[in-house]
C-alpha cells in the first residue's frame, strides 16, 4: 500500500491530533474535527506510520481509538 508519511501530511496530522487524546472518536467526530473525508483510509495510513488504532462498531456508528502513538521521528532520521 502506498501511504503518506505523517511528517509530510497535514491531513494525517489533523486526524492524529484528534486521536491523540486516546479517547474513542466516531467517524463523524473525525470528519468534523479534522475536516477530512475517507476516515477509514486515513486510519490505514496512520497504522502504516506506526500508530495502533482500535476500530469498533456500535450500532451503525464506527469508533476509532488510538491505543499506541509512536514517538516522533527526528528530522534527520526521517530523511
Spatial separation of the C-alpha atoms in residues 27 and 5, rounded to whole Å = 21
Mean pLDDT of the 11-24 span: 96
Query: Does position 44 have pLDDT exceeding 80, yes or no?
Result: yes
Greater confidence (16 vs 75) lies with: 16
pTM beyond 0.75: the answer is yes
Query: Is 1.10.3720.10 the CATH classification of the domain at 6-69?
Result: no
Confidence of residue 4 (pLDDT cuts 50, 70, 90): very high
DSSP codes joined into one string, 11-73: HHHHHHHHHTT-S-EEHHHHHHHHT-S-HHHHHHHHHHTT-EEEEEEETTEEEEEEEE-PPPP
Over the chain, what is the mean pLDDT? Answer: 92
Q: Is the pLDDT of residue 1 over 80?
A: no
Amino acid at each position: 500500500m502506498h501511504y503518506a508519511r505523517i511528517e509530510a501530511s497535514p491531513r494525517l496530522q489533523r486526524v492524529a491530533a484528534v486521536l491523540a487524546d486516546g479517547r474513542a472518536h466516531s467517524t463523524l467526530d473525525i470528519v468534523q474535527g479534522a475536516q477530512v473525508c475517507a476516515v477509514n483510509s486515513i486510519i490505514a495510513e496512520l497504522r502504516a506510520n506506526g500508530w495502533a488504532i482500535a476500530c469498533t462498531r456500535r450500532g451503525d456508528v464506527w469508533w476509532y481509538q488510538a491505543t499506541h502513538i509512536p514517538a516522533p521521528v527526528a528530522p534527520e532520521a526521517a530523511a
